[in-house]
Copies of this chain bind each other. A is one copy, B any other.
Amino acid sequence: MENIKLTSYDEVAEILRECDNVTILTHKSPDGDCIGAGMGLCLYLRSLGKKANVVNDEEFPARYDFLIGDYKPMNFKEKFVISVDISDTTLLGDNLAEYADKIDLCIDHHGSNRFFAKKSYVDPQASAACLIIFELLEHMGAEITLPIATNLYTGLATDTGCFKFQNTTPEAHIAAAKLMRIGVDFEHINRKMFDIKSRNRIVAEQRLVSGMRFFEDGQIGFLTVTNQAITEFHIDRSELETFAQIPLTIEGVRFGYTIKQQEDKPNTYKISLRTTDADAAAICGELGGGGHLRAAGCTVEGKLREVYVKLLDVTRKYL
């Protein structure tokens, strides 16, 4: 394995210009950023006459249909594999696990990236994988079409909480300005991604928030989504990731945990952590996970009570 760290867009551009028959991998539990970066890059490669596909562990959730548009998979003999927005091969998911040691190029913005690919371009300062793809395409003099711009804007907006979170940079705003000028329907996208909720969803949120547990004078908040709650409140599993921001919206909470019971493994909980000022990646790192400074995740095994105790034990060190 070469494990080369690329440090300039020139190097990445050269690789992109030369590659063909490309499979682009996105991470499991896909979000706007990995889909946007994957689709944006794929559409660009296709516009150069290359063959390229975007794949995922499962189907992309319906709420991102507007990103997929009229994209259809192509038939070709794969010669090159790129991963986008993936920090670790465990995030490929079971159906893409076979790619773990076959990734030629990794493009990512996670500080916790494990450099599993032959060549990696990782910029932890970038607000989103989509920002890297945007700057790369701009660097390459690409014609950024409206479908590409729509994908890149969406990833940029979703990963920054619509330019609200700590990871937002001046460069993210400048990219947004340029993508808007291409005609991206940002109003519609932002409403869809951030604002609109079904009445069902509103009731579900109300019930989950009512059931929240708080510790250490309300600095630590646990929002728990059990399988029973998912059934009872008609929650769509593909929307689970969108609950992660809720705990931090409550006054006084500095460590906002969302604790999601796994469908097939009732003693396994997927944890999302959002923090106001503490290092979320470090906390989740202690539990075998990782992520960004203010947004990270991990998986914890045990009964719910035991999970709470494990999370509290680690979190108290960061109070």
Contact = CB atoms under 8 A, between A and B. Distances in A.
Interface of A: 161-166, 168-171, 173-174, 176-178, 180-181, 186-187, 190-191, 194-199, 201-202, 206, 209, 245, 248-251, 276
A62 to B, nearest CB: 14
A66 to B, nearest CB: 15
Contacts of A181: 170
Given A180-B173, A251-B199, A162 B165 contact: no
Nearest to A165: B187
Nearest to A198: B251
Contact of A162 (B162, B171, B180, B249): B162
A249 to B, nearest CB: 5
Contact of A202 (B173, B178, B180, B250): B250
A54 to B, nearest CB: 27
Contacts of A171: 177
Nearest to A199: B250
Given A170-B177, A174-B177, A249 B195 contact: yes
Contacts of A191: 164, 248, 276
22 contacts: A162-B163, A163-B173, A163-B176, A164-B186, A164-B190, A164-B191, A165-B187, A165-B190, A168-B180, A168-B186, A170-B177, A173-B173, A173-B176, A173-B180, A177-B177, A191-B276, A195-B249, A196-B249, A198-B251, A201-B251, A202-B209, A206-B209
